Amino acid sequence: MPQKPIYEELEKRVRELEDLMFKGKPTVGTLLGNRRFLADLIENSGTLIVIKDCEGKNLLVNRKWEEVTGLNREFVIGKTDDMLFPAEIARQFRKNDLRVIESGTMIETEEVMEIPSGSRYFISIKFPLFNDEGTITGLCGIITDITQRKYAEEALRKSEKKYQSLYNNAQVALFRNSMDGKLIEINKRYAKMAGYSTVEACMAEFRPGEAWADPKGRDELISLIKEKGFVNDYETKIIRRDGAHIWILFSATIFPEQGLLEGSIVEITERKQIEEALRRSESMQRKMVANIGDVIAIISQTAINTYKSPNIERLFGWRPEDVVGKSTWDIVHPDDLESTQDFFGTLMREPNAFGTTECRYKCKDGSYRWIEFTGSNLLHDQDIRGILGNYHDIMERKQAEETLRESETRFKALHNASFGGIAIHDKGIILDCNQGLSEMTGYSVNELIGMNGLLLLAEKSRDTVMTHILAGYEKPYEAMGLHKNGTEFPVRLEARNIPYKGKNVRTVEFRDITEQKRAEEERKTLRDELIQAQKMESVGRLAGGVAHDYNNMLSVILGYTELALDKVEPSESLYDDLKEIFKAAKRSTEITRQLLAFARKQTIAPKVLDINGIVERMFKMLRHLIGEDLDIVWRPASRLWPVKIDPSQIEQILANLCVNARDAIGGVGKVTIETQSMTCDKAFCDTHAGVSAGDFVVLAVSDDGCGMDKETLDNIFEPFFTTKDVNEGTGLGLATVYGIVKQNNGFINVYSEPGKGTTFRIYLPRHAGEAMEVSAEAVQEIPHSRGEMVLLVEDESAIRKMGQMMLEKLGYQVLSAGTPDDAVRLAGEHKGEIHLLITDVVMPGMNGRELAGRLHALYPDIKTLFMSGYTANVIAHRGILEDEVQFIQKPFSMKELGIKVRATLDD
């Protein structure tokens, strides 16, 4: 099988065939005569070859035609195109075929063939075929496939169109010009920017060089381009056709081989205007920030101040550099810190969150000002990166709010004050009222509104009140109010004219004065009690002073009488006389003792004790004291609280009250003694005058005697007051009880009515310690000296002389001194010999306590016994002896002195 010719060889043969055809008229015979040659040429040609007769029937097609059309040649031979192709394609082929046959000449035309793989484009060269006689018998078509070329041309056309569209419609000014500056091509944007049409800009009347606002700038630009071959974003200013100056960014590149300069221009006039406006705005904002009333601040996520506007110094005293970089919490008031931190925490949770809070901001001088902080979360903003906000000074507003709040509070407090009711009425009809009126009258506020106000008053007060309403009376006056439950109570009314909802009405205040009336009564009672107490106090001071002086005189009488009795035999008549003097002096001593008890100047030695024990120890004596006609009932309380008191004082109280009860009964009757542990609370104190709250032990003595009227009750504790006949009583018994109770911080209540008996209730404070056993004192003989020396100091010479005689009779060596200075001198002369100092308490120049202290400092072994008609503060507090102080009460007997001296020496 012969080798197929290569493509170049076939092309060569086609060209030879074409030359042959163009040199002479090709005939079918000629072609067929060279059958072998033609067969190879046609079959192996890279182009499509077809031979048709004049009716359009296919006589021959080559392999390429078969490949391209996809039609089998056996099927094709003898058929016309309209039997093989769509009608439109067939008509196209037939039309071109007829042109060849009719003209007898060759044509070259483009044809389209629709085949299964799609449309294909061809260049068809068609020429007629002749027979030997020169008659056209058919035609031959040589068809070249140009589909790829057509696609490339179409793509190029579209690309050029797209490029031109992009070029003309670009939002950037584009240009191409020669190296001498003549514009060759520009787009619409360039023309619009320059103020020329596209044609005008490329014509001679437009001179780009003349458009430069600064020719030197153009020369600089050209130098840059020539030096580098390009320039990017060169900023300059040019002049439009209308004379306006515009800013541009110029970019260009040289293409030397073409002699062209191509580039772009971006107009930045608006940007430059914005930049200028921004610059002016920033300058203005800086001035505004520095001069506005609010402080602008930026606070970081960690609460650090990163910016503070300069006006912070004017408002708060800080310079920006004082606070920037420091925690904002350092200058928030501690009381506002938690709420402010909560506000910032909420603000930071969400970008762009916005909010307002109030707090107190610290000034440089340490004071605080109220501010309103309005902030926005701009942590995500790269320029801010924090909370952007402003501090608005609201100090004046806060002060105004506080003033308003105080005013409202005052008004509300006045309107709703519990101490008074307020009503606004028009001719007696209540328009408005407060809660106080509701509480006072028992009606609800809703019930009161619309009610006639006269119904809130007792019948007997209504005429008076109505008269005052009609007269416009404005001074306070009293009337009787009427509660919803029908009870009446005293009120004070005061009214004023006021404007109310466009009308002239009256407001009236109802003041319940029940408590005031009760208080006035109580004040009267207390005033009477105060007067009584003051009178008792004055009498007590007088009694104390009298008793003191009286004791000194009794000391002399008793002492010398006792000494005289020792010198007289009992059988002598003088002995009985002296004995009567001694008895009278002893009775006088009891009177002074009672006076001192009343005046609370009695010398006492308190002990913690159980009162029940004292009563039981005295019970037999008390029964004897009140007599056989009276029953005495003893009702002791179990587990009675202890008290601290001198046992002798309990004995005085019981003796005096029982004697009083006996005299009040005056025949057959009953005396009851009771004890009780009791806690006095506020309610009890409110209903019992003179009582204070606390725990107390109560000692009560009651009788079923004649009782007392009010006048008697008002005076029973006064000294020397008595209802008994002359020589039947001194009037000091109850005064003594009163003084003892007061001296021991207690109080006494009396309950009595004529014909119903009397009860005295003594309240003594509870003591926390344990009670001690109190036993009766054993009968003692007079103890004598054991050779000791005594220094006796007394400014009253009679008492000093008597005391010396008593001590010497008891066997003591006695040094006697009339003044403290003499005592000091004697002590110095008998250094180490003196065992005991007996000194009066109250002396001119130096009191007994000071003297004892001075001698004890010099001679520590000297013991001291004080003596006085009453206890002074130098050795006792309110009559209570200080610890380890030895004391003997004037007047005293030789036996009492001897016992006390021995006890002091042996202590």
Q: Do residues 689 and 525 touch, judged by C-beta distance below 8 A?
A: yes
Q: How many CA atoms lie within 13 A of 744 on its CB side?
A: 33
pLDDT at 826: 94
pLDDT at 604: 62
CB atoms within 10 A of CB 794: 26
Under the banding of pLDDT at 50, 70 and 90, the label for residue 128 is very high
Mean pLDDT of the chain: 80
Checking if the pLDDT of 259 tops 50, the result is yes
β-partners of residue 231 are 252
Q: Is 402 exposed, middle or buried (0-12, 13-18, 19+ CB in 10 A)?
A: exposed
Whole-number CA gyration radius for the chain: 70
DSSP string, 807-861: HHHTT-EEEEESSHHHHHHHHHHTTTT--EEEEESS-SSS-HHHHHHHHHHH-TT
Residues sharing a CB contact under 8 Å with residue 481, sequence separation 6 or more, in sequence order:
440, 441, 456, 457, 458, 488, 489, 490, 491, 510, 512
pLDDT at 116: 65
| Candidate from 198-207, 336-345, 722-731 with smallest mean pLDDT | 198-207
- The whole-angstrom separation of Cα 20 and Cα 121 is 27
As separate numbers, helices (DSSP H) first and strands (DSSP E) second, the chain gives 29, 34
What mean pLDDT is predicted for residues 165-180?
76
Checking if the pLDDT of 5 tops 50, the result is no
CA dist list (Å): 109 to 10, 11, 102, 104, 126: 22, 20, 16, 15, 8
Checking if the pLDDT of 16 tops 60, the result is no
State both tokens at 466.
Answer: 């109505």
pLDDT at 57: 94
Checking if the pLDDT of 493 tops 60, the result is yes
Q: Beta strand 305-308 with 295-299: parallel, antiparallel or unpaired?
A: antiparallel
Residues sharing a CB contact under 8 Å with residue 84, sequence separation 6 or more, in sequence order:
58, 69, 71, 76, 90
Determine the angle formed by the axes of helices 894-906 and 797-809, rounding to 10 degrees.
70
151 or 353: which leads in pLDDT: 353
Q: Do residues 802 and 555 touch, judged by C-beta distance below 8 A?
A: yes
pLDDT tens digits, 593-646? 655 555 545 556 688 889 998 898 888 888 888 887 788 999 999 999 999 988
State both tokens at 765.
Answer: 């404070």
Checking if the pLDDT of 113 tops 90, the result is no
State both tokens at 149.
Answer: 């070329």
Q: Is the dihedral of CA 734, 738, 741, 743 positive or negative?
A: negative
| Candidate from 250-259, 514-523, 827-836 with smallest mean pLDDT | 514-523
What mean pLDDT is predicted for residues 483-492?
91
DSSP string, 620-649: HHHHHHH-TTEEEEEEPPTTPPPEEE-HHH
For each of the domains in the chain, give its residue range(s) and CATH number, in order of start: 7-153 (3.30.450.20), 170-273 (3.30.450.20), 292-400 (3.30.450.20), 417-512 (3.30.450.20), 604-765 (3.30.565.10), 789-906 (3.40.50.2300)
| Candidate from 189-198, 500-509, 619-628, 651-660 with smallest mean pLDDT | 189-198
- The whole-angstrom separation of Cα 713 and Cα 707 is 10
Q: Most distant CA pair in the chain: distance in Å?
A: 225
Checking if the pLDDT of 773 tops 60, the result is no
Q: Do residues 63 and 43 touch, judged by C-beta distance below 8 A?
A: yes
548 or 857: which leads in pLDDT: 857
pLDDT at 836: 95
Checking if the pLDDT of 201 tops 60, the result is no
pTM (2 d.p.): 0.35
Checking if the pLDDT of 825 tops 90, the result is yes
**Quick one: how far is CA 459 from the chain centroid?**
53
Q: Is 395 exposed, middle or buried (0-12, 13-18, 19+ CB in 10 A)?
A: middle
State both tokens at 177.
Answer: 């010009």
pLDDT at 549: 67
- The whole-angstrom separation of Cα 65 and Cα 75 is 13
pLDDT at 298: 92
Question: Of the candidates 143, 826, 869, which has an alpha carbon nearest to the alpha carbon of residue 558?
Answer: 869
Under the banding of pLDDT at 50, 70 and 90, the label for residue 289 is low
pLDDT at 780: 60
pLDDT at 636: 92
Residues sharing a CB contact under 8 Å with residue 337, sequence separation 6 or more, in sequence order:
329
pLDDT tens digits, 378-393? 999 888 889 998 888 8
718 or 529: which leads in pLDDT: 718
| Long-range CB contacts for residues 255-259, cutoff 8 Å, separation at least 24 | 259/178, 259/179
**Which amino acid, 76?**
V
pLDDT at 9: 47
pLDDT tens digits, 827-857? 999 998 999 999 988 888 888 889 999 999 9
Helix or strand run (H / E) with residue 160: helix 147-169
| Candidate from 14-23, 278-287, 313-322, 876-885 with smallest mean pLDDT | 14-23
CA dist list (Å): 209 to 182, 214, 226, 250: 9, 10, 16, 14
- The whole-angstrom separation of Cα 845 and Cα 776 is 41
pLDDT at 205: 45
Helix %, strand %, coil % of the chain (to 5):
45, 25, 30
What mean pLDDT is predicted for residues 284-297?
71
Residue 27, SS3 per DSSP: strand
pLDDT at 206: 46
DSSP string, 300-331: -TTSBEEEE-TTHHHHHS--HHHHTTSBGGGG
Q: Do residues 404 and 492 touch, judged by C-beta distance below 8 A?
A: no
Q: Do residues 256 and 278 touch, judged by C-beta distance below 8 A?
A: no
State both tokens at 486.
Answer: 């029908």
Question: Of the candidates 249, 247, 242, which has an alpha carbon nearest to the alpha carbon of residue 273?
Answer: 247
Q: What does the chain come to in residues?
A: 907
Q: What is the DSSP letter of 604?
A: B
pLDDT at 204: 44
Order of strands across the sheet with 260-267? 183-186, 173-178, 260-267, 245-255, 230-239
Q: Do residues 879 and 602 touch, judged by C-beta distance below 8 A?
A: yes
* Percentage of the chain lying above the pLDDT 70 cut: 80
595 or 734: which leads in pLDDT: 734
Q: Beta strand 880-881 with 354-362: parallel, antiparallel or unpaired?
A: unpaired
CA dist list (Å): 570 to 567, 582, 782: 10, 14, 20
DSSP string, 690-754: T--SEEEEEEEEEE-S----HHHHTTTTSTT--SSPTTS--S-HHHHHHHHHHHTT-EEEEEE-T
Question: Of the candidates 48, 40, 24, 35, which has an alpha carbon nearest to the alpha carbon of residue 115?
Answer: 48
554 or 436: which leads in pLDDT: 436
Q: Is 498 exposed, middle or buried (0-12, 13-18, 19+ CB in 10 A)?
A: exposed
What mean pLDDT is predicted for residues 276-295?
70
Q: Do residues 720 and 732 touch, judged by C-beta distance below 8 A?
A: yes
